């Protein structure tokens, strides 16, 4: 018993001064190896009486098991320390701060727009980017011979489908899926064969549509003015111009006073003082016919705005391509 007590003390004293794996291994061999101290004591047990054997045996085995566990721990400790040394880590230093990412500026504008219209009771819907000719054109009162088809430089696919040139086909899909009254907005990607500092072959639009029994042109104006003030601030100047779209009648385009020169005229607004931001109008009866809505009961308005356009004005960005080139500094400046 005395030997075991002394042995235990000896072992733990030595353990403290072990600092690397080779020292640890020779220590293990010294005590637990085939000819190790503990192993040879265990071998000698057979020369003792049954009672002594029982007592000493259990104590020795206990010590052996404890030692095995401690050696494992010690090995882990040494490995961790060496790893830290290899990496040049000083574990007493404070940790590195993690960079938190931010949403893409266009995503931020889309979310802001959705929130504004959500507050006005509009439901957010989406539609497919690969469309049929019917939803993108025909159902929107743009028959095959219509010159408006040329205006929207369309990407056609081999199977006769096309990449939607605007989000307006979602108007048709939404009306077919629902019964009036309805209020929807639909953000999404659209495609036109066009590329320069102000045009990208893929860009984003937000479509809006409201159908009810008593909807007028002044409701449309009211909602558009509210939206412009929410996005650009209450002092924003707005202007409505008559326009033409096959799927609305009457149609308008909305401009806001140039945010750079405040309508005096500058390079950004082409000296006009105004920036065009959206097209809109009252839903054309031919469109209601395509979705089987009773035109004697329902009226509606629709609008479509360019997301990049809004973002460019809001953040004073002159080149639309910046949104898609993924320069790290550009993207992280929208935190
Ligand atoms: N779809 C039209 C465009 O892309 C915009 C628009 C939408 C106009 C809804 C009127 C009503 O130019």
Q: How far apart are CA 269 and CA 272, in angstroms?
A: 6
Q: How far apart are CA 261 and CA 65, in angstroms?
A: 83
Residue whose CB lies within 8 A of the most ligand 1 atoms, among 165, 185, 206, 304, for a mutation test: 304
Domain ranges across the chain? 2-87, 105-332
User: Which of 236, 240, 234, 245 is CA-nearest to residue 220?
Assistant: 240
Q: How far apart are CA 4 and CA 288, in angstroms?
A: 97
Q: How far apart are CA 90 and CA 289, in angstroms?
A: 74
Q: How far apart are CA 161 and CA 130, in angstroms?
A: 7
Residue whose CB lies within 8 A of the most ligand 1 atoms, among 153, 279, 302, 306, for a mutation test: 279
pTM (predicted TM-score): 0.72
Q: Indicate which residue's Cα is closest to atom 2 of ligand 1.
A: 304
CA separation, residue 12 to residues 20, 58, 67, 299 (Å): 16, 19, 9, 90
Q: Using only C-alpha atoms, what is the Rg of the chain?
A: 38
Assess whether the C-beta atom of 152 lies below 6 angstroms from ligand 1: no
Query: Do residues 120 and 301 lie in contact, with contact meaning Cβ atoms separated by under 8 Å?
Result: no
Q: Indicate which residue's Cα is closest to atom 6 of ligand 1.
A: 304
Q: How far apart are CA 184 and CA 122, in angstroms?
A: 5
Q: Using the mean position of ligand 1's atoms as its centre, give its distance from the Cα of residue 48 in Å.
A: 101
Question: How is domain 105-332 classified at the CATH fold level?
Answer: BirA Bifunctional Protein; domain 2 (3.30.930)
Assess whether the C-beta atom of 154 lies below 6 angstroms from ligand 1: no
> Is residue 20 scored above 90 in pLDDT?
no
Helical segments of the chain, H only: 2-16, 21-32, 37-44, 50-87, 105-119, 133-136, 148-151, 169-177, 217-232, 285-290, 307-315, 322-325, 328-332
What's the rounded mean pLDDT across residues 82-102?
Answer: 80
pLDDT single digits (tens) 227-279: 999 999 999 999 999 999 999 999 999 999 988 888 898 887 889 999 999 99
* 8-state DSSP, 273: S
Assess whether the C-beta atom of 280 lies below 6 angstroms from ligand 1: yes
pLDDT single digits (tens) 162-205: 999 999 999 999 999 999 999 999 999 999 998 888 889 999 99
pLDDT single digits (tens) 51-71: 888 888 888 888 889 888 888
pLDDT single digits (tens) 293-316: 999 999 999 999 999 999 999 998
Q: Indicate which residue's Cα is closest to atom 10 of ligand 1.
A: 280
With DSSP H G I counted as helix, E B as strand and the rest as coil, what are the percentages for the chain, rounded to 5? 45, 20, 35
């Amino acid at each position: 018993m005395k030997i075991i007590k002394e042995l235990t003390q000896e072992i733990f004293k030595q353990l403290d001064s072990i600092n690397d794996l080779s020292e640890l291994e020779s220590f293990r061999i010294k005590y637990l190896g085939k000819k190790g101290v503990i192993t040879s004591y265990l071998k000698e047990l057979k020369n003792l009486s049954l009672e002594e054997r029982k007592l000493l045996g259990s104590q020795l085995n206990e010590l052996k098991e404890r030692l095995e566990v401690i050696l494992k721990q010690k090995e882990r400790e040494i490995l961790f320390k060496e790893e830290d040394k290899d990496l040049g880590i000083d574990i007493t230093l404070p940790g590195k701060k993690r960079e938190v990412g931010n949403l893409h500026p266009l995503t931020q504008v889309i979310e802001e727009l959705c929130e504004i219209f959500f507050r006005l009771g509009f439901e957010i819907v989406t539609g497919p980017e690969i469309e049929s000719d019917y939803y993108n054109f025909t159902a929107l009162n743009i028959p095959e011979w219509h010159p408006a088809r040329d205006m929207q430089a369309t990407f056609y696919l081999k199977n006769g489908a096309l990449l939607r040139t605007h989000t307006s086909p979602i108007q048709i899909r939404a009306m077919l899926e629902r019964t009036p009254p309805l209020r929807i907005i639909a953000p999404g990607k659209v495609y036109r064969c066009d590329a320069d500092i102000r045009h990208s072959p893929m860009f984003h639009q937000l479509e809006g549509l409201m159908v009810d029994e008593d909807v007028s042109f002044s409701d449309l104006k009211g909602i558009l003015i509210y939206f412009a003030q929410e996005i650009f601030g209450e002092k924003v100047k707005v202007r409505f111009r008559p326009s033409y779209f096959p799927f609305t009648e009457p149609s308008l385009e909305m401009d806001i006073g140039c945010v750079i020169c405040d309508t005096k005229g500058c390079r950004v607004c082409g000296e006009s003082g105004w920036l065009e931001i959206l097209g809109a109008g009252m839903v054309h009866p031919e469109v209601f016919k395509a979705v089987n809505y009773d035109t004697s009961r329902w009226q509606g308005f629709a609008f479509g705005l360019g997301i990049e356009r809004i973002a460019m004005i809001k953040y004073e960005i002159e080149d639309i391509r910046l949104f898609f080139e993924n320069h790290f500094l550009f993207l992280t400046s929208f935190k």
